[in-house]
Amino acid sequence: MTDTNDRDIAVLGAGMHPWGKWGRNFVEYGLVAARAALADAGLNHRDVGYIAGADTIRNGYPGFVSGATFAQALGWSGAQISSSYAACASGAQAIANARAQILAGLCEVALVVGADTTPKGFFQPVGGERRDDPDWLRFHLLGATNPIYFALYARRRMALHGATLDDFAAVKVKNSRHGLNNPNARYRKEVSVEEISASAIVSDPLRLLDICATSDGGAALVLTSMDYARRHGIADPVRISALSTVTPTFPKTVLDLPDFSTDSAVAVEPPSRTFRSAIAHAAYEEAGIGPADLSFAEVYDLSTALELDWYEDIGLCETGEAETLLRSGATTLGGRIPVNPSGGLACFGEAIPAQAISQVCELTWQLRGQADGRQVDNARAGIAVNQGLFGHGSAIIATR
């Protein structure tokens, strides 16, 4: 897959700080990732014309102005900056900002950085009393933590498509095996169906090992124009060929975080595609490829059940057939379309502003053939998808 289009940009560098619970300042993680990405690209931070930071709302004012925070930590260089918050899609929004600058001809080299330090346990609402904030209200009125929503999605899948607890466990078993050899993963240990079944129920029907952890970590990318890459001797770089951040279409009839209810479909027919499906479809249209052209996928497995939803949302199978696809072995390494060869959130946990960036790091390493111990054979195209709060989400397609 060597054809290019006028919206392609090159990924010259990818770097990460390993995920874990390190308890240090998030800037440290971002610096490690940024320096690794710059070294991978063979560049100095002074070569960067634009720094796009993905924001974290849990780390004080520096987290809200992450572009400036990382620019200062690297050393003020006069680069232009931006800071983006879009919940779990924050990293994708930062990539989108950098991509727009490059495609507009306003810069040739951009650095994208996201990092987070997270608390123990569930994510909580931002402090204070905000009675007009749906995210604050769902905690204080309903006691609805994120895993409650994950459990509702799981119950929906069981009711509509006959998913079983064993199907959910099989997703975790697969991803734990994939993450074994990933040096950046937090959890590098195989788990069995029996261990998953024996873990504590967090929100019925999901158990502790069905749900991703909250983690510290960082990720960074060096993005350039295609001309810049060629001038620097890289004729066939990994390319970002599409990036979608579309919003839902009214009426949205599937409940999403942090909503209490869905839109009414009494007067208007629901759209032909659900929100997550629409995100992926827009990326396919821009890249000029379809699901059949993919070599692998990185999906946002906040829970084991949600990974199954994503199989259908990105077109790997028809609605209701995700369990069959999983059971066939198609989504494991060596199968027709490996999903989460990195190990996914099952092995990483959530470091929210870094997550979409880390997914593109994985796309990059897979497409370069550098994913030692978890390499997808003959990888030529990959998609990375995630969904955040309040109508945020993203799909990024990388090709080579």
The reply to whether 320 and 395 lie within a common domain is yes
Q: Which of 201, 232, 263 is where one domain is finished?
A: 232
What is the predicted pLDDT for the residue at 296? 98
pLDDT grade for 1, boundaries at 50, 70 and 90: low
Q: What percent of the chain has pLDDT over 90?
A: 90
The verdict on residue 69 lying in a domain is: yes
Total domain count for the chain?
Answer: 2
- Domain containing residue 60: 9-121+217-232
The reply to whether 223 and 365 lie within a common domain is no
What is the predicted pLDDT for the residue at 126? 79
The reply to whether 85 and 155 lie within a common domain is no
Residue 107 sits in a domain whose CATH number is 3.40.47.10
What is the predicted pLDDT for the residue at 2? 52
The verdict on residue 1 lying in a domain is: no
What is the predicted pLDDT for the residue at 19? 98
**By mean pLDDT, which of 222-231, 257-266, 338-347 is the weakest?**
257-266
What is the predicted pLDDT for the residue at 6? 85
What is the predicted pLDDT for the residue at 5? 80
Cα(314)–Cα(330) distance, integer angstroms: 15
The reply to whether 68 and 192 lie within a common domain is no
The verdict on residue 170 lying in a domain is: yes
Cα(357)–Cα(339) distance, integer angstroms: 17
CB atoms within 10 A of CB 238: 24
Residues 6+ apart with CB under 8 A from 355: 88, 91, 114, 219, 300, 345, 348, 386
The reply to whether 82 and 187 lie within a common domain is no
**By mean pLDDT, which of 97-106, 130-139, 147-156, 200-209 is the weakest?**
130-139
The verdict on residue 4 lying in a domain is: no
**Structure confidence by residue, pLDDT tens digits, 17-66:** 999 999 999 999 999 999 999 999 999 999 999 999 999 988 999 999 99
**Structure confidence by residue, pLDDT tens digits, 274-333:** 999 999 999 999 999 999 999 999 999 999 999 999 999 999 999 999 999 999 999 999
